[in-house]
Amino acid sequence: MRRRFDERAVRSAERRAREDAAPRLIAAVPNLESLQINVREHRAGNTVADATYVRRVVVLHAPAMFIVPCGEPSCRDDHDLTSSLMPGLRNGATQLEGEDDCRGTVGSSPCQRVLRWTAIAAYRP
């Protein structure tokens, strides 16, 4: 347990460092007013969601980088939504969605989590 906790702490510290080094979201999309990402995670082949949550992005301070850690506790992979989200936001899209299979592993097996996300954005006129 201790080791797992340490790995997760290191992982989130690394993620924060990458986010801190990234350009700011407001610099990339200056008229963005609000952004909310709805996340739904489930195992492949299973339609019942294991986890759903809403991530509200603090537009003024957020990095132009969207990394969601895999919800499987022993999986070390992240879902990087940046390249799926940023082009749409730059084009003023108000709703974006996507799906990302986890490429991590749990023990010696592939992690079978699938992350589905919907982003809702609002812009200043």
Give the binding site for Zn ion (CB under 5 A): 70, 72, 75, 77, 102, 104, 111, 113
Nearer to Zn ion, 72 or 100 (CB): 72
Give the shortest CB-38-to-Zn ion separation in angstroms.
Answer: 19
Nearer to Zn ion, 25 or 111 (CB): 111
Give the shortest CB-27-to-Zn ion separation in angstroms.
Answer: 31
CB-facing half-sphere around the CA of 121: CA atoms within 13 A: 25
13-44: buried (b, 16+ CB within 10 Å) or exposed (e) per residue? eebeeeeeebeebeeebeebeebebebebbee
Nearer to Zn ion, 36 or 74 (CB): 74
Which residues have a Cβ under 8 Å from the Cβ of 93 and sit 6 or more positions away? Answer: 121
Give the shortest CB-54-to-Zn ion separation in angstroms.
Answer: 20
CA distances from 104 to 14, 56, 99 (A): 17, 25, 15
Give the shortest CB-44-to-Zn ion separation in angstroms.
Answer: 11
Nearer to Zn ion, 42 or 89 (CB): 42
